[in-house]
Structure 1
Amino acid sequence: MLRVFCKTLLITKAKDSTSSHGFFLRTISSAESTSGTLVSTNQKNLTIYYLVNSCGLSFKVATSMAQKIHIWTTERPDSVIELLRTNGLTNTHIAKLIKMYPRLLFYDPVKTLKPKIEFFQSLGFSRSDLAKFICSDKAILLSSLQNQIIPTLNFLKTFVLTNENLVSALKQYNRLVGYNVKKILEPHVATLRSYGVPDFNISKMIISVPKPLGLSILRFKDITAMVNRMGFDPNSRSFVVAIYSMSGLSKQSWERKREAFRSFGWSDDEFLLAFKVQSRIMLTSEKKLGKLMDFFVKDLHLKPSDVAKYPNLFLLSLERRIIPRCSVLQVLMSKGVIKKDVHIVSVLNSNKQSFEKRFVTRYEGETPEVIKAYEGEMGFLGFDR
């Protein structure tokens, strides 16, 4: 029950992204405190005031949240906010976290929140990475440390072996924290082992492409069986990467993209070859696939069957990588500095340092136009211009 007291609360103004809103909290006298409506109004205003001024939320968001939570005293919320700030969370992090789960303000900071934060710190999270991690998913601070977090991470560590690898996995996919060992993780591991996937490849999956581990048991089994039928080697990292690529698509999306490759003139064998070489091509949007193939065929005069041998091309950015590099080659060819028989696919696939050393810094003295071309200031007109 609200204690009868007299206390003057501050008059303040809060702003959201579109307009200003003024609100005030009146002095509650002994007589007024008997009015349930007045107490409720002041309590709601205190909630809004706190969410805006202490948590960094906009007035609009705070007003909406005040319908769901009620702050009667700021002692517990203040302690929660202080704990978060002490452990590296900025105002932006705190606003995001409280907006995601406002009831966190009422958790016991000493018994419930601090032990979890200290546990993640013990794994080797940097201060900045821990702040990002904590506010990336509400389940991280809400899950039971003893019954969920520790058992799950201990299970994962039997494969990844070190805390450093474990932190890499968690940064890659924060939802790993919430996966049940008996109901999800152990069945998935059993499925992989049934196809002969060795533990070192399971480790690679956990560290670099862990998202499929959150699939339902049936869906995970279906995808793994399909990858096996396609002829992927269970001893190769490509096996688990293929599972990852397929897990990001519904069956309908898979068929639409498969049809897109058929529209390029690819045979089933050419598609399978491309997918086995680079399974991530199926995560590229249909729009980008079409745009890239159009450029390869019309502007670079490559045959679709040739492109199928180099599927990594579909992972590159047309605007940021392919066109600037082609523009550099165009300048050098037009000046007669290099021959026109350059293997364009190899050039596009080469890393940044190698390309710059071979075609930019090597010639920028005698052909300064390569700098403009490389920085995207010159359009690509074709190698025959």
Structure 2
Amino acid sequence: MLHLQKQLLSVRGSVSPILLSLHRALRSTAAAGDAASRGQFSAEDYLVNTCGLTPEQAVKAAKYISHWKSPSKADAVLAFLAGPDFVLSKADISHVLASDPRVLNCSVDKTLKPRLDSFRAHGLSTAQIRRLLRFSCCTFRTANIHESLGFWIPFLGSTEELLRQVTRSAYMLKSNIERVIKPNIALLREFGLSDHDIAKMCVANTRLLTCNQETLKAILARADKLGVPRQSLMFKQAVSTSMALHADTMASKLKFLGKTFGWSEDEVAKVVRINPVFPRYSMERLRRVSKFLMTVAGLDSKYILSRPVILTYSLERRLVPRYYVMKVLEEKGLIRPISFYTMLPIRDEMFRLRYIQPHKDVLPGLDGAYTAACKGELPEARYEGC
């Protein structure tokens, strides 16, 4: 084997990637064999055979425990995770260790048990702690976890909301409360946002509070540029839009809005001030809605500009089905021609009561057709190219 390794090394400059991979595999195999023959600890073997990791996962994780002379500390960690405090299955333990193998370096008495006590002190049940570990197992190694839980649970409103947020952003519990989170809250307050507003926005995206302050300042500056007054209820949406879109993406979306609807820059700015959510819509959605409204429904850009809320309605569940009902009723002479927009804001129950029920004897199938159209199941309610 050593002879073959030397041959491979001698031609390394011209050798193929496959042969280089073979060389690395042979070297790894030889090292493992030498370690086994000397009775030394093999990190990769332990991770695969005892912890249940795949060979690929073990290769990545081995560097964190390769300095061990024996697995005694890891054995204690595994026993603790599988014991009565957690009752983690082998699959769960494998998931935790693949996500954060450094847990195996923790002391059960000095680190893991105190963290467990912190979880329980903040009201987390065993089942909730297991969920937390699956999505943010690094919390076991977070020194300030007690402080983090003490802040986030009341701020978000409940333990369940905390767990929901952790599944989306495992990093949030590692963010420093005093140096990162609280200064960001203070900055948001300067922009007129209340603690209630901040909490609601944080539920939608915890990055609002966990990002560094320079990033947050840039987000708030972009929100200001949208022209929405800070005291307006829509300023929260302006901040959320600025957080969701980078500056270049924002600029391209605004340009696309103007090109799609034939609006000037000032007209686009007016629409965005009214509802700063519009830039978050995908270009495909805007394209399809504009084509339907202007080509099928026959609305011009000035009409849409004066009623931009029309762009917020779902094409499939609101615009197409109600346009279908309006055209049928007009063609049958059951209603006089009306503005399409007047049919849109009404909630579904009232729409049926006002426009469908009065004509059920003349058009008995209209209610079923409208229901099918709302589900996208009525061919006549589909418009080619939209």
Q: Same fold (TM over 0.5)?
A: yes
1:272 aligns with 2:256: no
Which range is displaced more, 305-314 or 373-382? 305-314
The residue correspondences of 1:235-254 to structure 2 (distance < 5 A) are: 235-254=231-250
The offset of 1:346, in angstroms, is 6.2
Cα deviations across residues 66-119 of structure 1 (Å, max 9, x unaligned)?
A: 565458356234225326x95586777655433222222443445433544554
Instruction: Encode CA deviations 1:302-329: one digit per residue, 9 max, x unaligned.
Output: 333444455566566545x357635863
Q: How does 1:1-385 map to 2 (within 5 A)?
A: 36-38=35-37, 39=39, 44-52=44-52, 57-58=53-54, 60-62=56-58, 65-66=61-62, 69=65, 72=71, 75-82=75-82, 87=86, 94-109=93-108, 111-117=110-116, 119-120=118-119, 123=122, 131-144=130-143, 148-154=144-150, 160=155, 162-163=157-158, 167=162, 170=165, 174-228=170-224, 230-264=226-260, 265-308=262-305, 318=315, 321-322=317-318, 325-326=321-322, 329=325, 333=329, 336=332, 339=335, 341=337, 344-345=340-341, 366-367=364-365, 368-379=368-379, 380-381=381-382
Q: Secondary structure at the match of 1:135?
A: helix
Mapped contact 2:100–2:138 kept (Cα < 8 A): no
Deviation at 1:293, TM superposition (A): 2.3
TM-score, normalisation: structure 1? 0.67
Separation in 2 of the partners of 1:132 and 1:308? 48
| Offset of residue 332 of structure 1 | 5.5
Query: In 1, Cα distance between the equivalents of 2:244 and 2:332?
Result: 46
Q: Deviations over 1:224-271 (max 9, x none)?
A: 244345443434442233212102222111111111112122233332
| CA deviation map 1:162-211 (0-9, x unaligned) | 54697388457554322223432333233233344444433443444442
Contact 1:331 1:373 in 2 (8 A): no
Q: Which has the larger radius of gyration?
A: 2
Task: Give, as a single letter, the amino acid of the residue that structure 1 aligns with 2:278.
Answer: I
Assess, with a 3 A threshold, how the Cα gap between structure 1 residues 377 and 197 changes in structure 2: closer, same or farther: closer
Q: Distance in 2 between matches of 1:301 and 1:214?
A: 46
Q: Is the 8 Å Cα contact of residues 212 and 243 (structure 1) preserved in structure 2?
A: no
Single out whichever of 160-169 and 195-204 deviates more from structure 2. Answer: 160-169
Offset, 1:301: 2.6
Q: Quick one: distance in 1 between partners of 2:349 and 2:129?
A: 32
Residues 169 and 207 in structure 1, CA contact (< 8 A), matched pair in contact too: no
8 A contact 2:272–2:278 mirrored in 1: yes
C-alpha distance in 1 between matches for 2:220 and 2:284 = 27
Deviations 1:16-70 (A, max 9, x none): xxxxxxxxxxxxxxxxx99534446966334212343xxxx55544455456545
**Matching residue's letter, 2:162:** V
1-side partners of 2:63 and 2:357: how far apart? 62
Q: Structure 2 unaligned runs (5+)? A: 1-31
Q: Sort the Cα spacing of 1:47 and 1:232 in 2 relative to 1 into closer, same or farther, 3 A.
A: same
Query: 1-side partners of 2:90 and 2:332: how far apart?
Result: 57
The TM-score normalised by the length of structure 2 is 0.67
**Is the 1:201–1:235 Cα contact (8 Å) retained in structure 2?**
no
Bigger proportion of residues as helix: 2
8 A contact 2:237–2:276 mirrored in 1: yes
Residue by residue, what CA displacement relative to the aligned partner does 1:275-318 show, whole Å, maximum 9, x if unpaired? 23332332223333323322332233333344445556656654
**Structure 1 residues 351 and 89: CA distance shift in structure 2, 3 A:** farther
Q: Structure 2 CA distance, aligned partners of 1:296 and 1:192?
A: 38
- Is residue 143–residue 178 contact of structure 1 (8 Å, CA) maintained in 2? yes
Query: One-letter code of the match for 2:287?
Result: G
The change in CA–CA distance for 1:347 and 1:149 in structure 2 (over 3 A counts) is: farther
Residue 169 of structure 1 contacts residue 210 of structure 1 at CA under 8 Å; is this kept in 2?
no
State the secondary structure of the residue aligned to 2:50. helix
Residue identity opposite 1:241 in structure 2 = Q
The number of residue pairs the alignment matches comes to 341
